[in-house]
Copies of this chain bind each other. A is one copy, B any other.
Amino acid sequence: MKVINLDHISSNPLLPEVKAAMIEAINADYANPSSQHTPGEAAATFLEKAREQVAGLINSATPKEVVFTSGGTESNNHAVKGVALANMEKGKHIITTNIEHNSVIRSLKRLQSQGFQITSVSVDEGGRVDPRNIADAIRKDTILVSVMHSNNETGTIQPIQEIGEITRKNKVIFHCDAVDSVGMVPVDVRQLNVDLLSFASNSFYGPTGVGWLYIRKGTRVFPMLDGGVQEGNKRAGTENLIGIIGMGVAAEAAARDLKTRMAYLSGLKEKFLRALPDYVTECIINTHPEFSLPHLVSISPRYIEGESVMLMLDDEQIAVSTRSACATGSLRASHVLLSIGLSHADAQGTLVIAFGVDNTEEDVDTFLEKLQKTVKTLRDISPLYQKIHGAG
């Protein structure tokens, strides 16, 4: 029996055209793109083609602003630590929010232990940052603001363009983690007023372990990987050419299919949200009703454990997640959900559902039925639920 994958935030199947391009690259035995002989030069053309493809997806002024990395985590580490270390004579104050990905939060903690000061701005109950709070937090020694484009647990989209206007006016460098947005909603680096954006290929049906960091021309940032002259001296290391070729094709497909993809995914999500109350009562919706990713929805069916729901659905061949895959194994409630005001119990009862282009309307129907059954089973044995609703 085929598994219904409703966890497209942790991983995505590769597009058929991405698979074909990667298999072709594997069979072609390309040389090192930095080698000066003809096979090396040929390999370099494939690298540069992919750079143009990803630059096109985000409307970068030039492909030279694209620095290939090993994924979203490296991009975020590079941006945050690279800007901090390159600009510390100007100041050591950095502004962020309470709901960032761990790769930003823990990079900032690392910097904190090196004498940097961090201001972390709260979000409202809808999970959004008020740009005025960012403006108020800016000091004379602020060198960097880092705010994510969309949250990987709730799908809520932030007012990046407005924050970018503020950072630009204050001459503060602005980094945005756009890992979960790219290929799902339009991301235009020029419109957004950002200086650095992080991306990962697997967010838009490309391979894992590859991504890029957009660095606007003129932005002062140190490399994180020091060494060879690759990537215009911005990121050393022989490139993951097979992965980068796959990512380039995925980026071109995302640019081409963005509107269709958004319409299809938001159709599945709306169908699910419309029907949900008929299947599960007392269920909190954590995703912003207006500003959110088309494919992601976070729900908290009350009085039960999200992990139990996930495991029971897994037995029914349905894959969902309870939180960021990067935080698996942590027993603590999600910092993102606590930040939007959920109680510990409700946060622990949360499911993240992320639809993908491989899902069908039937998948949504099957999921709703199985979810109803699972929630009922768990509530029947939940002391909390029984206490509140009585045993009959």
With contact pairs A10-B32, A227-B103 given, residues A209 and B240 touching in the complex (Cβ less than 8 Å): yes
Asked if B37 and A74 make an inter-chain contact with CB atoms under 8 angstroms apart, the answer reads: no
Binds B, one of A231-239, A248-256, A265-273, A363-371: A231-239
CB of A72 closer than 8 Å to a CB of B: yes
Q: How far is the CB of A370 from chain B (nearest CB, A)?
A: 13
Interface residues of chain A, those whose CB is within 8 Å of chain B, are 3, 5, 7, 10-11, 13-14, 19, 22-23, 26-27, 29-32, 34-40, 43, 69-74, 76-77, 101-104, 106-107, 109-110, 200, 202, 207-210, 222, 224-230, 236-244, 307, 310-311, 313-314, 319-322, 324-330
Task: State A313–B19 Cα separation when bound (angstroms).
Answer: 35
Asked if B229 and A7 make an inter-chain contact with CB atoms under 8 angstroms apart, the answer reads: no
Task: State A77–B225 Cα separation when bound (angstroms).
Answer: 6
> Quick one: which of A5, A26, A70, A239 has the most chain B CB within 10 A?
A70
Q: How far is the CB of A63 from chain B (nearest CB, A)?
A: 18
Q: Which of B26, B32, B225 contacts A23 (CB 8 A)?
A: B26
Task: State A332–B71 Cα separation when bound (angstroms).
Answer: 33
Please give, as numbers and ranges, the residues of chain B lying within 8 Å of A104 by CB-CB distance: 227
Asked if B229 and A77 make an inter-chain contact with CB atoms under 8 angstroms apart, the answer reads: no
Asked if A210 and B102 make an inter-chain contact with CB atoms under 8 angstroms apart, the answer reads: no
5 closest cross-chain pairs (CB), A and B = A209-B240, A228-B326, A103-B227, A73-B237, A70-B70
Specify how many copies of this chain sit in the oligomer. 2
CB pairs A–B below 8 angstroms (14 shown)? A10-B31, A10-B34, A11-B32, A11-B35, A23-B23, A36-B314, A36-B328, A71-B238, A103-B226, A103-B237, A107-B226, A208-B238, A228-B326, A242-B242
Asked if B10 and A29 make an inter-chain contact with CB atoms under 8 angstroms apart, the answer reads: no
Task: State A123–B342 Cα separation when bound (angstroms).
Answer: 62
> Quick one: which of A19, A103, A228, A239 has the most chain B CB within 10 A?
A228
Q: How far is the CB of A88 from chain B (nearest CB, A)?
A: 10
Asked if A237 and B72 make an inter-chain contact with CB atoms under 8 angstroms apart, the answer reads: yes
Besides A19-B26, A34-B325, 11 other CB < 8 A contacts? A10-B32, A35-B319, A37-B314, A38-B314, A40-B319, A40-B325, A70-B225, A70-B237, A101-B227, A209-B239, A242-B243
